[in-house]
């Protein structure tokens, strides 16, 4: 049972997210408010926060750690990049860089229809569901969990990265895809368009936050926590946890793909490095630092870590790995529940310590 | 009513170790059966086989005269009417007492009870296990004995036809043990079989109709507790120690 304080904290966070969205909307319509640069940064942070929420949903509330969530983020990103390139070509007639590089004058056949956004969206959903569904079913069916599952997800994202590095696949190869000129018929570099994309990202973050909250408070959410805490106990009470885990896993993958669809138009580029194991590991770090098993924790962790990263990558890029590692050590040793511990000023035993040990086979 | 649980020449092996060795056992409806024996005799493994957690190498498990549950999933076995309390109190640290009982009552992803019936049954169970005052506390805040009772509440909430309790009074105070005796007697019904694994012989003496003594994965003795105490082999391997 969550204490009342956490309800308050959630409401405050949701209100803050909506306030930022409102500020962005004001900035679109009037000369007041945020600059395009700041708005763009805020929008990217919001996309990362959505990504962190997707991982927190399965790691924090279902006890399944994925170190390959960059895969689904990448699927969303690649599909939206294909849409933007095709759409830009339709409007401006400019042939994408990667095709010029390959010496192609026509799009590969599987690019057909991508200029139409609903179709691209459908493809993103279908591919995400297919990959997460098949992988999740096979893994959960054979009761693969814990560290083994995490390692396989990591391998999966690595394989995807290697595939995308190939230039002949028609997805941009090692240079990736860039040069998006038009989004929904609007010039993508126009200030109001930049701010509008940011506003959409922040609004989506608010919606995902609220949706996750409603899910977790439902009967289904209670069963998620029960699965996390003692899956065998829940199964022997008559609950088929396979189906439950599969549904949440696929939902989490979809949210990660959505984050990728928000992120790529705002950074203006996608390349295979989005699928590098480092990014996937970093998502887990954001959630761990913010406090897994808390929606607020995931959002704050993602925003804080990435804000520091943005700032440092300009000021002192060589310091970043040390700061990130330092934060991880601090979280593991002192604040097992991340910043949420700091907020409570209570250094409790990590809830995960028991969970991790209970993942090893029990012999009664 | 007939045979609630029939274990038919079941063998379980962990590597080269034979935990249960061609064991056969029949428990009738209306009966409280205690399964006792030294550590490593195969008591918990037997319960694991019945609840579907461990697959036997050989043999069959038949529930309610006709249903073969040997290869069924844990959830399917539970939905057939089998519930089991684990040796180590197994509860959900992140949920409240009330939420536990709701999970135990509802049983299965599909809702089996209407809201009104559910609320009524949950309140009833909370009363039975004496946790009504703590209903909205987090289960992680409970004392050891209360956690035992919470798990018992969770498994009895669905009115199981076969109830298996693995060491229900381990670590309980004398007063709590007393209440558990009363509870088990109260749970005894003509359409329910109760299997209890326990090391506390006074407790077993007070609740069990019959006892089965296991030793090295096999049945050493079956009969009344009084006869078990008199049996030389039982005294030798277990009670005399």
User: Mean per-residue pLDDT for A325-349?
Assistant: 74
**Residues of A (164-223) whose Cβ lies below 8 Å from B:** 222-223
- SS3 category, A94: coil
Number of domains chain B is built from? 1
User: Mean per-residue pLDDT for B65-70?
Assistant: 89
Q: Which domain does B171 fall in, by range?
A: 3-89+161-239
Confidence of residue A146 (pLDDT cuts 50, 70, 90): confident
Whether residue A356 has pLDDT greater than 80: no
Query: Is B69 within a domain?
Result: yes
CATH number of the domain to which B179 belongs? 3.40.50.300
What pLDDT, on the 0 to 100 scale, is given for residue A89?
A: 94
Query: Is B173 within a domain?
Result: yes
Q: DSSP string spanning A103-163?
A: T-SS--GGGTTTTSHHHHHHHHHHHHHHHHHHHHHHHHHTT--HHHHHHHHHHHHHHHHHH
What pLDDT, on the 0 to 100 scale, is given for residue A344?
A: 66
What pLDDT, on the 0 to 100 scale, is given for residue B203?
A: 94
Whether residue A355 has pLDDT greater than 60: no
State whether A239 and B107 contact (CB < 8 Å): yes
A337 touches chain B (CB under 8 A): no
User: Mean per-residue pLDDT for A62-85?
Assistant: 96
B92 touches chain A (CB under 8 A): yes
CA of A229, closest CA in chain B: separation in Å? 5
Query: Residue A186, exposed/middle/buried by CB under 10 A (0-12, 13-18, 19+)?
Result: middle
State whether A237 and B90 contact (CB < 8 Å): no
CA of B105, closest CA in chain A: separation in Å? 9
Query: Is B125 within a domain?
Result: no
State whether A239 and B137 contact (CB < 8 Å): no
Whether residue A363 has pLDDT greater than 60: no
Q: From chain A, pick out residues whose CB is under 8 angstroms from the CB of B44.
A: 364
User: Mean per-residue pLDDT for B14-30?
Assistant: 93
User: Mean per-residue pLDDT for A169-197?
Assistant: 92
What pLDDT, on the 0 to 100 scale, is given for residue A6?
A: 67
Question: Which residue in A80, A108, A67, A24 sits closest to A286, CA to CA?
Answer: A67
What pLDDT digit, counting tens, does each position of A33-71 carry?
A: 889 999 999 999 999 999 999 999 999 999 999 999 999
User: Mean per-residue pLDDT for B15-43?
Assistant: 93
Whether residue B1 has pLDDT greater than 60: yes
Of B53, B91, B94, the CB nearest to A228: B94
Q: State chain B's mean pLDDT as an integer.
A: 92
Query: Is B116 within a domain?
Result: no
Q: Which of A3, A236, A243 to mutate to test the interface with B (most CBs of B within 10 A)?
A: A236
A238 touches chain B (CB under 8 A): yes
Q: What is the 3-state secondary structure (H, E, C) of chain B?
A: CCEEEEEEEEEEEECCEEEEEEEEEEEECCCEEEEECCCCCCHHHHHHHHCCCCCCCEEEEEECCCEECCCCCHHHHHHHCEEEECCCCCCCCCCEHHHHHHHHHHCCCCCCCCHHHHHHHHHHHHHHCCCHHHCCCEHHHCCHHHHHHHHHHHHHCCCCCEEEEECCCCCCCHHHHHHHHHHHHHHCCCCCEEEEECCCHHHHHHHCCEEEEEECCEEEEEECHHHHHHCHHHHHHHHCC
**Which carries the bigger pLDDT value, residue A313 or residue A154?**
A154
What pLDDT, on the 0 to 100 scale, is given for residue A168?
A: 85
What pLDDT, on the 0 to 100 scale, is given for residue A345?
A: 56
Query: Is B112 within a domain?
Result: no
Whether residue A354 has pLDDT greater than 80: no
Whether residue A29 has pLDDT greater than 90: no
Closest chain B residue to the Cα of A293, Cα to Cα: B94
Which strands form B193-197's sheet, in the order they lie side by side? B82-85, B162-166, B193-197, B32-36, B210-215, B218-223
State whether A230 and B75 contact (CB < 8 Å): no
Q: State chain A's mean pLDDT as an integer.
A: 89
Range of lowest pLDDT (A124-128, A348-352, B53-57, B127-131): A348-352
Q: Tell me what ipTM this predicted complex has.
A: 0.93
What pLDDT, on the 0 to 100 scale, is given for residue B109?
A: 76
Q: From chain B, pick out residues whose CB is under 8 angstroms from the CB of A354.
A: 93
Query: Is B102 within a domain?
Result: no
User: Mean per-residue pLDDT for B165-186?
Assistant: 92
What pLDDT, on the 0 to 100 scale, is given for residue A360?
A: 37
Confidence of residue A115 (pLDDT cuts 50, 70, 90): very high
Give the integer Cα–Cα distance in Å for B60 and B58.
7
Query: Is B148 within a domain?
Result: no
Give the integer Cα–Cα distance in Å for A249 and A58.
6
Q: From chain A, pick out residues whose CB is under 8 angstroms from the CB of B103.
A: 222-223, 226, 234, 237, 239
List the structure tokens of A52.
């962190």
Of A229, A237, A364, the CB nearest to B78: A237
**Which carries the bigger pLDDT value, residue B237 or residue A195?**
A195
State whether B95 and A237 contact (CB < 8 Å): no
B141 touches chain A (CB under 8 A): no
What pLDDT, on the 0 to 100 scale, is given for residue A2?
A: 47
Give the integer Cα–Cα distance in Å for A61 and A299.
15
Q: From chain A, pick out residues whose CB is under 8 angstroms from the CB of B166.
A: 364
> Which of A4-18, A292-306, A332-346 is modeled with the greatest confidence?
A292-306
Query: Is B213 within a domain?
Result: yes
User: Mean per-residue pLDDT for A284-310?
Assistant: 93
């Amino acid at each position: 049972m969550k204490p009342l304080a956490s309800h308050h904290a959630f409401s405050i966070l949701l209100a803050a997210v909506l306030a930022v969205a409102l500020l962005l909307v004001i900035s679109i319509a009037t000369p007041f408010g945020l600059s395009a640069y700041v708005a763009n940064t805020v929008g990217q942070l919001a996309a990362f926060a959505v990504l962190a929420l997707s991982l927190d949903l399965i790691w924090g509330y279902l006890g399944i750690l994925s170190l390959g969530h960059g895969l689904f983020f990448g699927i969303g990103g690649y599909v939206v990049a294909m849409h933007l390139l095709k759409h830009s070509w339709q409007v401006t007639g400019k042939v994408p860089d990667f095709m010029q590089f390959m010496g192609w004058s026509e799009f590969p056949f599987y690019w057909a229809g991508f200029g139409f956004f609903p179709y691209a969206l459908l493809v993103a959903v279908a591919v995400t569901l297919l990959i997460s569904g098949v992988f999740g079913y096979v893994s959960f069916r054979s009761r693969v969990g814990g560290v083994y599952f995490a390692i396989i997800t990591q391998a999966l994202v690595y394989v995807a990265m290697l595939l995308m590095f190939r230039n002949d696949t028609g997805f941009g190869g090692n240079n990736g895809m860039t040069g998006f000129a038009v989004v929904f018929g609007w010039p993508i570099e126009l200030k109001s368009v930049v701010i509008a994309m940011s506003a959409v990202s922040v609004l989506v973050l608010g919606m995902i936050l609220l949706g996750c909250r409603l899910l977790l408070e439902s009967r289904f959410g209670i069963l998620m926590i029960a699965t996390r805490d003692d899956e065998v106990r829940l199964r022997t009470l008559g609950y088929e946890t396979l189906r439950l885990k599969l549904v949440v896993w696929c939902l989490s993958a979809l949210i990660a793909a959505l984050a990728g669809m928000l992120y790529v138009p705002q950074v203006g580029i996608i390349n295979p490095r989005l699928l590098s194991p480092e990014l996937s590991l970093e998502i887990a770090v954001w959630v761990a630092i913010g406090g897994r098993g808390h929606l607020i924790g995931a959002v704050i962790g993602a925003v804080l870590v990435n804000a520091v990263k943005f700032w440092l990558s300009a000021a002192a890029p060589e310091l970043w790995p040390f700061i990130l590692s330092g934060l991880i050590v601090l979280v593991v040793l002192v604040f097992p529940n991340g910043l949420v511990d700091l907020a409570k000023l209570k250094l409790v035993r990590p809830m995960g310590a028991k969970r991790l040990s209970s993942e090893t086979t029990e012999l009664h | 009513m007939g045979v609630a649980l029939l274990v038919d020449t079941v063998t379980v092996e962990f590597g080269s170790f034979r935990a249960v060795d061609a064991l056969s056992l029949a428990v009738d409806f209306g009966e409280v059966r205690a399964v006792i024996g030294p550590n490593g005799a195969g008591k918990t493994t037997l319960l694991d086989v019945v609840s579907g957690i461990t697959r036997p190498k050989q043999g069959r498990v038949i529930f309610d005269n006709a249903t073969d549950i040997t290869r069924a999933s844990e959830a399917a076995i539970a939905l057939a009417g089998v519930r089991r309390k684990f040796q180590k109190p197994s509860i959900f640290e992140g949920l409240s007492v009330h939420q536990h009982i709701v999970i135990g009552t509802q049983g299965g992803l599909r809702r089996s009870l209407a809201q009104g019936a559910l609320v009524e049954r949950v309140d009833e169970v909370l009363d039975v296990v004496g946790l009504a005052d703590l209903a909205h506390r987090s289960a992680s805040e409970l004392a050891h004995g209360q956690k035992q009772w919470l798990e018992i509440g969770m498994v009895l909430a669905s009115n199981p036809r076969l109830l298996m309790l693995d060491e229900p009074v381990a670590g309980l105070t004398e007063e709590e043990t007393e209440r558990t005796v009363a509870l088990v007697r109260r749970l005894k019904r003509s359409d329910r079989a109760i299997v209890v694994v326990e090391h506390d012989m006074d407790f077993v003496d007070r609740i069990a109709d019959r006892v089965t003594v296991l030793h090295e994965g096999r049945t050493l003795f079956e009969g009344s507790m009084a006869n078990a105490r008199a049996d030389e082999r039982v005294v030798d391997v277990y009670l005399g120690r």
